[in-house]
Structure 1
Amino acid sequence: MSETAETPLGQEVTRELPPRIVIPPIKGEMVHLRPATVDDLPRMDELDAYYGASRITGKDAQAERAVVHTWVRRSVAWSHGQTPDESGVGDPESRRTIAWAVLTDADHDEDGQTDAASTANVIGMIFLIDIDGWSRSARIQIVLGRDYRGRGYSRDLMPRVMTYGFAPEPVGLGMHRIWVAVPEQNTRSRSVYRSLGFEPSGTSRDALWDAENNKYQDLIVMDTLVDEYDPIRSLDAFGMHLIEDNPGVQEALSAREHSIAIQKNTVSTQTGVRVDDAAPTDAENNRDDADNARETTSADTADTSTTVEETRHNTAVAPDASSEEESNWPYGQGERKTSKEAWWRTLGRGRKRSVEE
């Protein structure tokens, strides 16, 4: 019998993950994703994908390699409908994993050859791990080959994967929370995660060993919730275009239009004056804004294997810095709300919560 929980409206919602999942492909502008396979694992070694792991994720290279192998096998097992016991890798808490291979068909270095031809176009992997059906929570992590870091691939992928993760079932996973764990010294990751809407939620003191500096370091946990995360704005923050046929995008657009309609209705009710065109709502305007963002930022700055270049957070397109003229959002980016006052919640889509810090 399925475990269920009641919503505030008394509706029962299952807290069990489906026994089998169809992992969708996801399109990006620079790269695209397909479900990862066991055959992709040797390519990660060829890519030297675990180089610098202690600095990026806090694990040593051997541990990073071991968990990537486990995550891929768990993902394949779930897509085949196998239980954790049947998968051969186990999972005592039945927290599932989804693994995508990151592929590029491009010749970005203009040498006349596809960048990753030697590894069947695979340049890394991105994961949703620790997917907890009961708590509707998942962790995101990306691992790129050593020679494919710093090219901007991560900024193209993370918002699109998170959009799928937050999208309601059956289109997406229906997650309530997505989180990351970042070593204290990885300041670039923390900066860009804030641009994506993540907020620091806790610190595990001296949780990691900093091999480069021969000392312990803290592990910073950051997260964002479904009614805080703004999937369209997070793409715009990095100058990326919306791809409307990706999983979860139509639901995000619908939610945004609903929120803007609530804002218009609220203003009209309070002032007695009809408010028309309070904010653009079509995807074309989002693409126009993304084009503007491209002109004001470098297209080639990016993170290491976990995130994108910190300078993105400080440019004109970052949510905390952009002028209101460049924003087509209900709130100007210069007056960005804190996570507890996110635009979806403030406009009425989210649950009622205290906004006190």
Structure 2
Amino acid sequence: MSEHVEPSPDQETSRELPARIVIPPIKGEMVHLRPATVEDLPRLDELDAYYNASRITGKDAQAERAVVHTWVRRSVAWANGQAASESGVGDPESRRTIAWAVLTDSDHDDDGKVDAEATDNVIGMVFLIDVDGWARSARIQVLLGKDYRGRGYSRDMMPRVMTYGFAPEPAGLGMHRIWVAVPEKNTRSLSVYQSLGFVKTGSSRDALWDAENSRYQDLIVLDTLFDEYDPIRSLDAFGMHVIEDNPGMREALAMREHSVAIKQRQSDDRRKDDAATTADDARREAYEKIGVTPASADVADATNGSGTTQADTTNDETSNWPYGQSERKSSKNAWWRNLGLNRKRDTEED
């Protein structure tokens, strides 16, 4: 677990979400996102976006439709500078929601027409829900029309939305944690989230009703943290390219470059230490062959003549980029080093 640090008064003030937010457009290779509007809601019905909701989210279609309408209205209210209570669907905890409409210009059937022309190119929505300024936490969820599932759209949009969510203010939301909740039978979504670096943190037993099989099922909770998520590598994992104009991406590239430089210097220091150790071993072996034990010389070399060991003088620079924080008191490692496999975490292995 991360080391707990009490926030300063300035930090506490900064944890309040802004009264108004400008929801940025986000570009992808297959889709692009714009702020969702109330006028987009009927399009979701045309797309049959609530089809098989019980399998995807664990809710029935009617409940899913109602909650999506609530999310969009909360998002519009925040963009208009209205308080949570003024959205008509207020949240007693004053948490916020951001909703984007997902649009595509694709023509998969090569008939010369955009696939989603009938719905003004809208094929679904993506949300950051329960945006909690105090805990710096948000939940992500994707909703796609029935005919647009399984085509890789989620893999294109989700890393870019998460980059915005994690990016420090004002480039992004400055979240510390992004999480998801997925029914156990929705194995496709579970695979996508785990490929993005989400880690299973627990499950709510029998939390959902599986209407298809007339039985209860577990709700799986997964999350990823700011210092675990690499936006560039997550795009690479899905064969997507970096789009520098997207919110938070320039900051991510700059921080990653800084992290790489720090790691390179630390690697150079380790190589120098290894070379010095090899030289000392060779000299000691040579003395032993002639029956001499240069104990005093060894002590002097080991302490650099000043009582300070080589280990004490090793470069211990730190970085603002989380992947370079060797001093972090945590059991977590940045997932991109091995694409999320074999990570040390205080949770049950998947």
Q: Does 1:347 align with 2:324?
A: yes
Question: Deviation of residue 350 (structure 1)?
Answer: 8.0
Question: Identity of paired residues, percent?
Answer: 75
Question: SS at the partner of 1:157?
Answer: helix
Question: SS at the partner of 1:175?
Answer: coil
**Contact residue 182 and residue 219 of structure 1 kept, 8 A:** yes
Equivalence map 1:83-162=2 (5 Å): 83-162=83-162
Question: Deviation of residue 349 (structure 1)?
Answer: 7.2
Alpha-carbon distance in structure 2 between the residues aligned to 1:16 and 1:8: 16
- Letter of the structure 1 residue corresponding to residue 209 of structure 2: W
Equivalence map 1:1-357=2 (5 Å): 12-13=10-11, 14-272=14-272, 345=322, 347-348=324-325, 351-354=328-331, 357=346
Alpha-carbon distance in structure 2 between the residues aligned to 1:171 and 1:345: 17
Per-residue Cα deviation, 1:284-311 (whole angstroms, up to 9, x for no partner): xxxxxxxxxxxxxxxxxxxxxxxxxxxx
**Contact residue 227 and residue 323 of structure 2 kept, 8 A:** no
**Contact residue 177 and residue 226 of structure 1 kept, 8 A:** yes
- Letter of the structure 2 residue corresponding to residue 348 of structure 1: Q
TM norm structure 1: 0.76
- Letter of the structure 2 residue corresponding to residue 347 of structure 1: G
- Letter of the structure 1 residue corresponding to residue 89 of structure 2: V
User: Which structure: larger Rg?
Assistant: 2
Question: Deviation of residue 225 (structure 1)?
Answer: 0.1
Question: Deviation of residue 15 (structure 1)?
Answer: 1.1
Alpha-carbon distance in structure 2 between the residues aligned to 1:7 and 1:21: 28
Alpha-carbon distance in structure 2 between the residues aligned to 1:239 and 1:12: 41
May I ask how many residue pairs the two structures share in their alignment?
A: 283
Alpha-carbon distance in structure 2 between the residues aligned to 1:345 and 1:215: 43
- Letter of the structure 1 residue corresponding to residue 152 of structure 2: G
| Structure 2: stretches of 5+ with no match in the other structure | 274-320, 333-343
- Letter of the structure 2 residue corresponding to residue 210 of structure 1: D
| Structure 1: stretches of 5+ with no match in the other structure | 1-5, 274-343
Alpha-carbon distance in structure 1 between the residues aligned to 2:29 and 2:93: 36
Question: Deviation of residue 106 (structure 1)?
Answer: 2.4
Per-residue Cα deviation, 1:5-51 (whole angstroms, up to 9, x for no partner): x9679583211100000000000001100000000000000000000
CA 1:350–1:144: 2 relative to 1, 3 Å = farther
Which of 46-55 and 145-154 deviates more? Answer: 145-154
**Contact residue 345 and residue 352 of structure 1 kept, 8 A:** no
**Contact residue 259 and residue 349 of structure 1 kept, 8 A:** no
**Contact residue 137 and residue 178 of structure 1 kept, 8 A:** yes
**Contact residue 196 and residue 234 of structure 1 kept, 8 A:** yes
Alpha-carbon distance in structure 1 between the residues aligned to 2:270 and 2:6: 28
Alpha-carbon distance in structure 2 between the residues aligned to 1:267 and 1:30: 39
Alpha-carbon distance in structure 2 between the residues aligned to 1:354 and 1:99: 34
Question: Deviation of residue 270 (structure 1)?
Answer: 2.0
Question: SS at the partner of 2:85?
Answer: coil
Question: Deviation of residue 352 (structure 1)?
Answer: 2.7
Question: SS at the partner of 2:17?
Answer: coil
Question: Deviation of residue 86 (structure 1)?
Answer: 1.2
Alpha-carbon distance in structure 2 between the residues aligned to 1:96 and 1:27: 23
Question: Deviation of residue 189 (structure 1)?
Answer: 1.4
Alpha-carbon distance in structure 1 between the residues aligned to 2:180 and 2:140: 6
Structure 1 residue ranges (4+ consecutive) displaced by more than 4 angstroms after TM superposition: 6-11
